[in-house]
């Protein structure tokens, strides 16, 4: 079955996943992580895309972002993908593709799912058993939001201001949110929606998006949300 075309919408949050071909490693050392981080920062600025959260894993990466234009997201991913492959291949003396086809993405309803998606992204290294705590992993947005470092790749979403009235309060609230985590159903829902391109939000949100495109945006009937992530138990 042919894949559904990607649906992107300026001004809305998108969860993006890019995997290595056959799940192969896309990083060979710390300098590779740094190179991808710099390429993303440069291209996000060029193509007017706000990156709210990210994590670089061994064979894939996640982004939570908001494009400001219709073509900003695909142009940014195309530019980063091509430049990073050339860089990585030259460094490793290899040829051929690095990516598992095109990137995967979906639109999410920020008011309901943005913070859950940020938590999901920053907990990836913990779930993978790479570190015991999200703060121990240097290649994610967690350190920026908890005051460990300033990350030029990150543009905070306005919803982050609701976590507290001061920077310290927001940092503590974000750390607590990630420490609490999300459950297995939430994890599966966030992964499934991004990999398959199902819009993630309330019925009203998905219904509204469906009016803008002939491309099917939900797994079942139009307007039916994939899952409700709020107020779920661990």
HEC per residue, 79-113:
HHHHHHHHHHHHHHCCCCCCECCCCEEEEECHHHH
Helices 110-122/184-196 angle, 10° precision:
100
What integer pLDDT is reported at residue 219 of this predicted model? Answer: 80
| Segments making up each domain of the chain, as ranges | 13-210
Q: How far apart are CA 20 and CA 197, in angstroms?
A: 18
* CA-based nearest residue to 71, from 97, 98, 46: 46
State what percent of residues in the chain have pLDDT above 90.
85
pLDDT in tens, 195-228: 999 999 999 999 999 999 888 898 864 444 444 4
Distance, C-alpha 217 to centroid of its chain: 18
CB atoms within 10 A of CB 82: 12
Query: The whole model's pTM is what?
Result: 0.90
State the chain's mean pLDDT as an integer.
91
CATH class of 13-210: alpha beta
3-class secondary-structure state, position 179: helix
Q: How far apart are CA 21 and CA 201, in angstroms?
A: 30
pLDDT in tens, 35-53: 999 999 999 999 999 999 9
Q: Which of 91-95, 188-192, 193-197, 214-218 has the lowest mean pLDDT?
A: 214-218
Q: What is the dihedral of CA 122, 171, 152, 60, to 10 degrees?
A: 0
- pLDDT of 233 > 60? The answer is no
pLDDT in tens, 127-186: 999 999 999 999 999 999 999 999 999 999 999 999 999 999 999 999 999 999 999 999
What integer pLDDT is reported at residue 220 of this predicted model? Answer: 65
- pLDDT of 234 > 60? The answer is no
Structural contact between residues 154 and 52, judged by C-beta atoms closer than 8 angstroms: yes
């Amino acid at each position: 079955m042919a894949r559904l075309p990607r649906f992107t919408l300026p001004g809305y949050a998108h969860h993006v996943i890019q995997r290595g071909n056959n799940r192969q490693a896309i990083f060979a050392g710390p300098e590779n992580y740094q190179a991808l981080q710099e390429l993303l920062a440069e291209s996000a600025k060029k193509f007017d895309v706000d990156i709210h959260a990210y994590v670089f894993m061994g064979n894939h990466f996640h982004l939570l972002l908001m494009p400001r234009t219709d073509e900003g997201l695909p142009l940014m991913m195309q530019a980063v993908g091509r430049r990073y492959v050339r860089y990585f291949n030259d460094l490793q003396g290899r040829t051929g593709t690095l990516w598992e086809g095109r990137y995967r993405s979906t639109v999410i309803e920020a008011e309901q799912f943005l913070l859950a998606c940020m938590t999901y992204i920053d907990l990836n290294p913990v779930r993978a058993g790479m570190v015991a705590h999200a703060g121990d992993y240097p290649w994610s947005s967690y350190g920026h939001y908890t005051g460990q470092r300033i990350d030029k790749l990150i543009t905070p979403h306005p919803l982050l201001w609701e976590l507290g009235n001061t920077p310290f309060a927001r940092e503590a609230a974000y750390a607590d949110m990630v420490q609490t985590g999300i459950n297995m159903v939430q994890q599966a829902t966030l992964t499934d929606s991004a990999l398959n391109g199902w819009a993630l939000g309330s019925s009203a949100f998905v219904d509204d998006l469906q009016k803008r495109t002939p491309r099917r945006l939900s797994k079942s009937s139009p307007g039916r949300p994939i899952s409700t992530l709020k107020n779920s138990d661990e």
